[in-house]
Structure 1
Amino acid sequence: LDLQKEYQRYRTQKGYLDKDVNEISFILDKENESGLITLDGTRSLSNKEVKANIELVHSQIRAKELKKTSLDSEISGLQEKLSSKEKELALLAEEINILSPLVKKGISPYTNFLNKKQAYIKVKSEINDIESSITLKKDDIELVVNDIEALNNELRLSLSKIISKNLQELEVVNSTLKVIEKQINEEDIYSPVDGVIYKINKSATTHGGVIQAADLLFEIKPKVRTMLADVKILPKYRDQIYVDEAVKLDVQSIIQPKIKSYNATIDNISPDSYEENTGGTIQRYYKVIIAFDVNEDDLRWLKPGMTVDASVITGKHSIMEYLLSPLMKGVDKAFSEPVNTKRLDTP
């Protein structure tokens, strides 16, 4: 349960990181004709901190753009004024050129010529001042443009760092998820046959419960026609049975005195022995799984818990009395000597 919660937590974290990377990448890709990051896509941005930062930088850039617009307007006004002064200067220059020979001939008074000369110098000075103002304002515009680019680049760098950090976290999260998924898959329990759960071991559903070796997790009533049964044999008889060896089963009903025989085979023999306490005596045994096929009618009356007597084709093995159960649940039966003559006679 804790592992599942941990898995879901990392899955949720992965979802947030993936979404964050995709949304921020979209914002970085969306820029206006000036190459500036826009507010397009920020409304649906999940990361509120990033959204607030983008909006703050955008407001700063907007203020700089307004300042640039104001400077452009001032320059435009100065240029119009400059144009007017240049025309005025040209007229004064023309008047001076006309008055100069007239003054020399005594036709025009010198004071008039002098006034025009002073007016020319004044307008020339005003033109120089206007040109200086235009130059200064152009320098201010260049600084504002540089500030805008710096703010935009700083924002772009900040967003890129967030993406890089998220990608690094995603790599760790994905690696962790793979480990957890592997652990979850290893904890999955698979039934050897398809069926319906018939009974559940309480320890398997209790938090902190312990399942001992060879204990049942649950019992299943199979839907398939191949039945599996579990048999216990003494270690001293282990060398007398073999996988795929033919077995004859006599199934006895729990309620009715009904016995039916089936042809079966030994499907598996446990590599290790188990131990159980029988009447205060510790006894070891090997677990043998026997498989046999039944027809549709037999599925209706066969039930977990039926007693079965198993006989090897070459001789009677009454040591193989066990419960028929798809859960491979054995019963305590008395063990007797085997009479498998073919195996016993082999040197």
Structure 2
Amino acid sequence: MNFRLRQSTQIILLSAFAVAAFVAWSLWAEIDQVSRARGAVIPSGRTQVVQSEDGGTIAEILVSEGDRVNRGDLLVRLDETRPRAAVEESQAQVAALKARMARIQAELFNRPLVFPAETSSHPEFVSSQRELYARRRQALSSQINSLQSMLSLTRQELDMNTPLVASGDVSRSEVLRMQRQTSDLQGQINTRRSEYLAELQTEYAKTEEELASATEQLTQRSAILRGSELRSPTDGVIVAIKYNTVGGVLRAGDEVLQLVPTGDKLVVEARVSPTDIAFIRQGQTANVKFDAYDSSIYGSADGTVTHISADTLSEETKEGVQTYYRVLLSADPAKLRPRHEGEKIVLQPGMTSTAEIITGQTTVFKYLTKPILKTTGDSLGER
């Protein structure tokens, strides 16, 4: 009887000591406090969207989803028939105006007629302006020569009759008439030259304005023609193609496909609940577990909070509207443990993950008693 009593006493004392030791340890031992958030791997440069700036008809699709492409690779070609015809029309208009401008400048500044290189592909414009140049110069020369011949004869007649006024053989009024005629002819020559230059200056200003407008139109049409070839803006992987039908019609600004950059650093985008965001700061460390790599085998990657969105974002889900803060973490997969030597661990955009963001430390005792204290506090506050 006494033996059983002593045995029971020893068990009670040992249990009490164990409890006391555990409580003492729990008051001293600290564990990490974490906020868990689901996330996914994304490129730091975000998904690139390839759009059709001016719209058109799809002539050829050169890539498929999953294809790797390099910067500048041709992805989709649109029908070039209309934009190319528009460019050729503008090129012809610009060539015609430049040929006209070359002729005007040669006449206006009295220099040899030389056509710019841009007109070489349109010899019909060069020939037309060369002929017009010759005709205009010939017409002006004929008119001036005719007036100068008349002026020369009138001066000769005036020189012959002026001495005869003194002898009375020619009246003074007749000499004055000849002088007026000489002045009139000289005035006609000056007037014709002035009118010719004025016409050229007017034509020069008009042609210069038309050329500027045509050049601007050519630039715009050339940009539209270049836009008929949709090229990759960066190295990446095609993840979504919105249009798969040759002959499909695109409107201006339509999204054609998406690609994920491969040259950019990968980060984890976590969605943190508004109830946890108060304890998260930039620079905090985290353990990132990737669903593709079992954490019980591969472990977790070290992460660091690099960005926290300024406000909440919302997304419609099956459970309703989900509100969250967007938190970006840099993740270093070097801490992940391969299952065997030579296994390569690769992170890819789209991989889902769980981020355990370390927000502080607490003792084991506080962690265990927190639910009890919270429940008690809530109960004591009820009416």
Q: Structure 1-normalised TM-score?
A: 0.48
Higher relative contact order (CA 8 A, sep 6+): 2
Would you tell me which structure has more strand in proportion to its own residues? Answer: 2
Would you tell me which structure has more helix in proportion to its own residues? Answer: 1
Q: Highest CA radius of gyration, 1 or 2?
A: 1
